[in-house]
Structure 1
Amino acid sequence: MKYTTFLFSIVFTSTIFAQESTISGKLKNIQNNEELDYVNIGIANKNVGTVSNSKGIFVLKLNEKVNPNDTIVFSHIGFEIKKILVNQLNSDHNIIEMIPSENSLKEVVVSFKKPKPKQFGRSSKGLGLMHSNFFYAFDKTVDDYLSRERGMEFRIKKDCKVETFNFNITSNEFKSVKFRLNFYKVENGLPSKILIEKDIIFEVKDNKLGLFTVDLKPYDIYLDKEMGDIAVTIQWIESIKTNEKSKFFSISTSASVTENSFYREKNMANWFKSGQSLTFYLNTMCQ
């Protein structure tokens, strides 16, 4: 299997509204001039992050913690990571060209003789008394949700192929929410590097409530027993509100002394761990 990184351009504008500073722009694949959608954008450890939309447009809000020498990181599966200093984005139209590279990855072919079904995670919906919400009290607009992540830790002890991902929605005030499904290695108790180099995007439509299932069989995702602890998360990348007051999207959860959930407010922000067990699980076939 071969992943090819293309040249693409990023056109930025920097604008200051009152005391709020923003960097906005549009990401394109320079080889074919197509927009580059859902690119992760952020500044490490500054709680500053976002994603580009379906047309490659983004607005990155800078807080008081950001200084001119901080580095903005642009990342997308299939493309090289690009790093740019904040002070290099002063003019209205900065064009950045990225050199293409080719990564040759061996295609994984796994043959299980007598696979057995195995579930990772909690499928119980509980009593409906606890909820994990994507909304924070200090969020001003729904765009503040962009790149936010929630997920669970799973311990992999067998070789498995993932068939479905499932989670239970307890409140949903959105006509549409698009998420990215991520698989991370857990190191020092927190998510670290991406394990699965596949861009898995799914959409929750029409204020859907209850169990939501994502079919992962077409992606050929294999979990190796050598992986140990992993984190599986969903990342908010785009949404359409039902009305102007829409803000809630929640997943059922319960307190736990044996399981860990993870969350971070923005892409590139610090991860946090909580003793909760979301209704959030994988169905797999294992050897």
Structure 2
Amino acid sequence: MNYKFAPIYFLLFFVSISFSQTKIKDAQSSYPVSYATVSFNNGNGLFANDEGEFVFTKKLYPDIDTLYISALGYKDLTVATSNLPNTILMDTETNALDEVLITAKIDRKFKEEKVKPYLDDDYYHCWLPTIESEIAVYFSNPDPALKKITKVLFPITLESKDWEKRKRSNADKKPFSTLFKVNFYNNDNGFPGKEIINRTIVFRVTEKDGDQFILDVSDEDIFIPESGVFVSLQVLGYTDDKGKLLSNKKYKEIKSNDGSIIKIPTNFRPLLPFTDKIPQSRTFVKRVFINGNQWTRFEKGSNFQSTLLQSGLNNYGIGLTYNVYKD
């Protein structure tokens, strides 16, 4: 994607942003709360950037009177949009991670194990990411041995610039630069439960990463709970060439037959390939800004009307590399 702007347009964009940015900060430290979720409670919302900044004006969102703000490790916050302050302060949630496994540095011998990702370059086998959706994949824990996740392998599908050449491995790919957020949850009766790390992890993906992005989390001390772990992925939006989250237009506005305006979430690249090669249904999806932020298993009979499910493609095939420590 081309992020070059003519100088005059860039100036207008900068001026507009400078008068409409709101910053979210930690109430105790005054540090920015990076990538906080800002929900409109109508099925739509947006995310703050790494500096805790987001853009909200009544001109952009005339029908929104309240913001619902949440972030990992902080108490949820409700803020009126009338006279929206330049700075919003959030208080930490002291008991949010009371079940986190805390382990000292491990020097024991280990064996490296790997769950291979499921790759696919077929456009029609793919999920089109939107900022309203988070995808979580379950990994069981087969035995009591201590296991530390070191890498997560996210399959992605690249699109050829020339549709007629899409099946050629050497075809030029459409460029993109997209920021994702990853999270790790414990198993709560078969559904994603509490977060098991107290840090927001984001990473940028471009077409140069090929058909999988390998995220190294070996420094994070993420241990697989006895009942298994959920690994989730959520798109935050496009970035500039330095990885800074842009104030992308998150929704397309379409006029319905009765004259009302319907907001349709924008799709972001890259595409995420789904597979029918996994026997169990272990992929879960939630609409972050609607349905009470509740997880739903991605399978036939659920609330999702998806061509993927109609084709039997009900799992996103994330891969893992982890260390299994010996006694």
Into which bin does the TM-score normalised by the smaller protein fall?
A: 0.5 to 0.7
Q: For 1:51-96, what per-residue CA distance to the aligned partner results, in whole angstroms no more than 9, with x for missing partners? A: 20233222579898x8x7x88232134xx32322x5x443243754
1:213 matched to 2:214: yes
Aligned pairs for 1:243-282 (under 5 A) are 247-255=268-276, 256-266=278-288, 269-275=293-299, 276-282=314-320
Contact (CA 8 Å) 2:147, 2:223: kept in 1 or not? yes
- Greater Cα radius of gyration, structure 1 or 2: 2
- Return the alpha-carbon distance in structure 2 between the equivalents of residues 189 and 71 of structure 1: 31
How much does 1:31 deviate? 6.0
Higher strand share: 1
Amino acid at match of 1:200: I
Give 1:32 shift.
Answer: 6.3
Find the counterpart in structure 2 of residue 191 from structure 1: 192
* Paired residues of 2:72 and 2:199 also in contact (CA < 8 A): no
Q: Quote the offset at 1:197 in angstroms.
A: 1.9
Q: CA deviation at 1:33?
A: 5.2
Q: 1: distance between equivalents of 2:101 and 2:230?
A: 23
Structure 1: tracts of 5 or more residues without a match: 1-22, 136-144
Deviation, structure 1 residue 25: 2.9
User: Given the alignment of the two structures, is residue 168 of structure 1 paired with residue 155 of structure 2, yes or no?
Assistant: yes
CA distance in 1, matches of 2:43, 2:62: 8
Matched, 1:56 2:57: no
CA, structure 1 residues 246+72, in 2 after alignment: closer, same or farther (shift >3 Å)? closer
Aligned counterparts of 1:101 and 1:254: Cα–Cα separation in 2:
38
- Give the direction of change, closer, same or farther, for the CA distance of 1:131–1:257 in structure 2 (3 Å limit): same
In structure 2, list runs of 5 or more residues that go unmatched: 1-19, 160-173, 242-248, 250-265, 300-313
Task: Give the letter aligned to residue 126 of structure 2.
Answer: S
TM (norm. structure 2) is 0.60
In the superposition, relative to structure 1, how do residues 240 and 124 fare at CA in structure 2: closer, same or farther (>3 Å)?
Answer: same
Q: How many residues align?
A: 244
1:99-118 alignment to 2 at 5 Å? 99=91, 107-109=102-104, 111=106, 113-118=108-113
Post-superposition shift, 1:280?
0.8
Q: Distance in 2 between matches of 1:54 and 1:94?
A: 16
Greater fraction helix: 2
Match of 2:33 in 1: 36
2:232 maps to what in 1? 233
CA deviation digits over 1:130-166, x for unaligned, max 9? 533234xxxxxxxxx3363223111123420111110
Correspondence 1:157 to 2:142: yes
The aligned residue for residue 286 of structure 1 is 324
In structure 2, what is the Cα distance between the partners aligned to 1:154 and 1:129?
26
Q: Sequence identity of aligned pairs in percent?
A: 18
**Alignment check: 8 A CA contact 1:179 1:237 kept:** yes
The CA deviation string for residues 222-256 of structure 1, in whole angstroms up to 9 with x for no partner, is 2232xx132101121231389x9984421222124
Aligned mates of 2:284, 2:194 — CA distance in 1: 14
Q: Which residue of 2 aligns with 1:76?
A: 72
Which of 116, 123, 132 aligns to 2:117? It is: 123
Contact 1:170–1:249 (8 Å) recurs in 2: yes
Quick one: distance in 1 between partners of 2:28 and 2:125?
Answer: 45
What is the aligned partner in structure 1 of residue 254 from structure 2? Answer: none
Q: Which amino acid in 2 is paired with 1:280?
A: I
Distance 1:82 1:247, change over 3 A: closer
Contact kept, 8 Å, 1:165 with 1:216, in 2: the verdict is yes
Q: Say what the alpha-carbon RMSD is for the aligned residues.
A: 3.8
